[in-house]
Structures are given as C-alpha cells and as structure tokens.
Structure 1
Amino acid sequence: MTKTEHYAVFGHPISHSKSPRIHGLFAEQTRQRIYYAAQDVAADAFKAAADAFFADGGKGLNCTVPLKELAWQYAGRLSERARKSKAVNTLALQADGGIWGDNTDGIGLLNDLTLNHGINLLDSRILILGAGGATRGILAPLLEQHPACIAIANRTLEKAETIVNEFADAKLSCCDYAGLAGRQFDLIVNATSASLGGQLPPLTDDLLAASGCCYDLAYGNQATTFVRWGMARHARKSLDGLGMLVEQAAEAFALWRGIRPDTAPVIALLNRERQIPNSFS
C-alpha cells in the first residue's frame, strides 16, 4: 500500500487557514494519500521549522504571511516566476534532496480571473493597490496577458518605484494615490490587507471604468470592504480572493503530486459554506 505523505502550510497567524480543507478535498477527489496540516510558525522560527519538517519526511510546504520572502531565501532552486517575484509560497522536496521554490499566487489569480470568471485582460487597463509581496507575486502572470498598462498605486511611492524598476516593463508604471486622479481602469486589484480591517485606500468614485471589474486578494466569510466598494460602483464583477486561494493551491498540489485537481467543485462548496454566491466571490 502506498504510504501517506506529509504536507503542511506554515504561517503566523494560521488558525483561519482553509488550506488543510482544500488540500483534503483535492486528495479525496484525486485519490491521493496525503496528510496536510496547518502549523503556526513565526518568521524567526521559520528556518528551524522547515528544516525539521523536511528532515522528518515532509514532502512539501505552503508558506503564507509573513514567510514568503523567507521561503524564497530558503529554497535551493527557484522557478522563474518565483525568482521574479522574490517570494515563494510553495516548497517541494526533490528526489536529490534539494528544495524547489515556486510562487503559484499569480497563476492562481490569473486562472480565477480568466477561466472561472471570463475576464479578458488583453489590452485592459489594470490598477494594483499596494506594493508589497502580494503585488510582486501577481505581476509577471498579469503582464503575460498583454494588458494595455498596469499601474501600481501605493501610499509610499518609493516601494512601488522599486517594483517597477525591478520588473522593467514598459507597460508598468506607479504613483501614489493622489496620482490616480482623472484615471480609469478596467480591472482594479486590491493587494493590500486593509479591507479585512474595514479600511480602504483613498479611491475616487470614478476610478472604475464602465463595465470594469474589482478583485480583492483577501477573502472572508462576508464580502470584504473592497468587494462592497466595487459593488457600490456597479462593477461588472466584484470578487474576493477565495477562488485565487483554491487555484494557487491546485497549482501547488499538481507540483507535488503530478495531478491537477478540478477546482470548480471545491470553490462552489466553500462558497456554499460561507453563503456567498459565486457571482460575488
């Protein structure tokens, strides 16, 4: 009989994580024998905890806040998308004992936007709010969709400028929030954590173009403040990040197990449990 192999998600805090449930559903669907747990790991304990996990036979890790940059440093080898983003959310033990680092956040967002919700990014005007690690993780896949432009808005302009300079793409620009005056966008992505606390950056009412869409990387059991902002401004779709969470998990699962699960029934189940219709999630 094939033995059960161990995987985990590290983060701090981590008790709210839906990842064990998601990977459990994936394993059931694909008939894979795995055990997946959540472990609270602070930044200063990450290396020791990761060393112990792999030494004890662990096969793969997901890493969330505040560990993605540390996981990037920990990995012995990096995917191209991880190298560009300078953040890793997936670690995989390789046959020779090396640790592979990948970032599946960007492709997770892209799959949710384009495959699950039919949002076409070609020639679109995209705005990303925030200039942290989450923005780094999604930029390369968005640029590969050939948008007309991507603007990064952040309270501290220098942080946004650093990202723009590193990615060095002609379609990429940045500004502070005051610099958004008079501009409109077809897709606005909230990559800050502010909306979970009921806060929003200072956004003008005319920022979203007619038939534009909003997407919050954060998610909760209720619509986030940013999702509600988009709905109040008649966004064609105003979505939260649960679909992205499931899609990025599916990419990690495929990296580890060599089989990609069907995400649609998992997303639908999680939405039913939190009583949010698919059109708003």
Structure 2
Amino acid sequence: MAIFTVFGNPVAHSLSPQIHQAFAQQVGVELNYTRSLTSVLRFRRAVAEFFRSGGAGANVTVPFKQQAFDLVTYVTTRAQQAGAVNTLVPLGYGQLLGDNTDGIGLVRDLQKNLQQKLTNRDVVILGAGGAARGVIAPLLEQGVASLTIANRTIEKANLLVEKFGQPTLQACRFEQLTIPTDALVINATSASLTGQKLPLESDELAHAACAYDMMYGAQPTAFMQQARQAGVAVVQDGLGMLVEQAGAAFQLWHEGAELDTQKVIQKLRKTIVG
C-alpha cells in the first residue's frame, strides 16, 4: 500500500489525511496517509527518512515550505514563482520534485466552486507574505485586469511587485487602499488566526463583490465578519482552496485521476461545523 504524509508543526489537526482518503475512495486506490510532526532542525532528515522507507509522496505545510524548496532536486515553474514547495514527488535515486499547488487550488476554488470570473477582474490581495506570494502568478495567468497588493508596510508589498514585474501589479499600504467596484478581495494575512480585524474602512470594503479568506474554521473569520458587515455579496473562507490544492497534489501522484472535489468540500464542511 502506498504511503503518503504531511509534514508540519503543528500537524495534529491537519485535514489532509481525510481529504486524500476521500480522493482515494473516489478513484479506487488504496493508500495510507499519515501526519508527520517535525521541527525546523529535523525537517530535512525526516523527509529523507520518509522517502528512503518507500514514501510515495508528501505534502508540506507551515513552517517548512521554504525549507522544502531548498532541499528538492527540481522545482516546477509555479514552485519557483512561489519560492516555496508544498508537494513532494519522488523521482527515484533520491531525487525529489517540488511543486506548489496553493495558487492553482485558490484559482480552482474561485472559478469552479464559487463561479467567480477572474479574466479582466480587479483583484486585491491583503498581505505580502508567503501566502500572497504563492498565489500571485496563478492569478496573473488568468488575465486579471489589475492586482493590488495591500500590506501594513509598503516595503514588502513593493518587493512582490518588483519580483513579478507585471504592469497590472501594484502595491499600497492598507490605509492607501482603494478597492475597485466589484473587485475580488483576498485575505492572505495571518490576522484571522488570531481574530484580528484588518485596518479596512467598511465603506471601502463595500466596493468588493467577493471577499475571500484563505483561512478557514468552524466559525466565520474576523475578515469574513468585516466583509459581511460591509455588505459584500459573496463571502467565503479557504476550505475549498485547501481541498483543491490537495486535489492538484493527488493528481501529481495519481496521473489522470478525476476527482469530485465539491463532494469532499461539502463533507468536510459538515465535519468542521459539527
């Protein structure tokens, strides 16, 4: 039986085993998907030991995505653009391919599950950290009209603009943010993990047609509450992104697999809400 795992810290509450088991049932394959708690100092050794013992593939979550990028033999274009790896594919002879499925997971959730148009759409990303960096290129590839990166400090946002070098890309501080009418606003900050509200005016946020938080939980996040109070029509968390990025990883390990991700999202939603 093929063995897969997710490396993380913390990792006890990871939904990855449930998601990949559900995918396996859909396509009729048997696998064992585990959780691997490790540390920054032990991560490289843990990965090596897992694949030496016959591991068939692995996911990587915080805080190891940058380390994974540094240890793999090859990276895909989207992992190179993200500067981080969340999926490991063994190539044999100790070699690993590193991919990043976060961005495509977001795009698939927005387009397929939320029916959100991205082509010629004004998009705002809140935050300029690793989560933002991982989704910029996939969003740009959809032909967005503009993509604004808003952050507490302008320096980090400017670095991302310089890295991707696209004329549709711009940066600003939260206080300077002007949200275009009918824009898609994506929260890529970690504020929702601590329940912090972002420094956004309700009148400004009200211009958005869709507010999307990359975080998820049993209750609406602080950002989702802000958006609903502002009257945004479509407000959604990142559970669908989690499932879609997992689906993209599963398809790397099981070529040609056709997955019903919406069914898995619905099942997990019921589990989380309780």
Shorter chain as normaliser: what TM range? over 0.9
1:151-195 deviation line (CA, Å, top 9, x unaligned): 111112211111111111111111111221x44351110001111
Of 224, 227, 234, 2:224 maps to 227
Say whether the 8 Å CA contact 1:60–1:93 is kept in structure 2.
Answer: yes
Deviation at 1:223, TM superposition (A): 1.2
1:8 matches 2:23: no
| TM-score, with structure 1 as normaliser | 0.93
Which of 80, 105, 108 pairs up with 2:105? 108
1:16-31 equivalences in 2 (<5 Å): 16-31=13-28
Query: Which of 158, 166, 169 is the equivalent residue of 2:155?
Result: 158
Deviation at residue 206 of structure 1 after TM alignment? 2.1
Measure how far apart 1:95 and its partner are. 4.0
How far apart are residue 274 of structure 1 and its match? Answer: 2.6
The corresponding residue for 1:275 is 273
TM-score (norm 2): 0.95
Equivalence map 1:1-281=2 (5 Å): 4-180=1-177, 182-184=178-180, 186-208=183-205, 210=207, 212-258=209-255, 259-275=257-273
* Distance of 1:76 and 1:200 partners within structure 2: 40
SS of the aligned residue for 1:219 comes to coil
Shift of 1:48: 0.9
CA contact (8 A) 2:157 2:172 kept: yes
Return the alpha-carbon distance in structure 1 between the equivalents of residues 262 and 97 of structure 2. Answer: 27
| Counterpart-to-counterpart distance in 1, 2:50 and 2:258 | 24
Cα RMSD (Å) of the superposition?
Answer: 1.4
Q: What SS class does the counterpart of residue 23 from structure 1 fall into?
A: helix
Q: Is the 8 A contact 1:71 1:89 kept in 2?
A: yes
**Contact in 1 for aligned 2:214/2:241 (Cα 8 Å):** yes
Q: Unaligned regions of 5+ residues in structure 1, if any?
A: 277-281
- AA partner of residue 91 (structure 2): Q
Contact 2:202 2:226 in 1 (8 A): no
Does the 8 Å contact 2:215/2:238 carry over to 1? yes
Residue range with higher mean Cα deviation, 87-96 or 105-114:
87-96
Per-residue displacement from partner, 1:51-91 (whole Å, max 9, x unpaired)? 11111111111011111111111111111101111011001
Distance 1:207 1:98 in 2: 49
Residue deviations 1:81-125 (CA, integer Å, cap 9, x gap): 011110110010014542001000000000000111100012221
Shift of 1:210: 4.4
Q: How many aligned residue pairs are there? A: 272
| 4+ aligned runs moved over 4 Å, structure 1 | none
Q: Give the Cα–Cα distance (whole angstroms) in 1 for the partners of residues 63 and 228 of structure 2.
A: 30
SS in 2 for 1:48: helix
Compute the displacement of 1:15 (Å).
Answer: 1.1
CA distance in 2, matches of 1:178, 1:150: 17
Cα distance in 1 for residues equivalent to 2:78 and 2:262: 25
Partners of 1:96 and 1:170 in 2: how far apart?
Answer: 42
Deviation at 1:236, TM superposition (A): 1.8
Q: Cα deviations across residues 210-258 of structure 1 (Å, max 9, x unaligned)?
A: 4610000001111111111111122121000000000000000000111
d(CA) in 2 for partners of 1:44 and 1:127? 36
Identical positions, percent: 44
- Shift of the alpha carbon at 1:201? 2.1
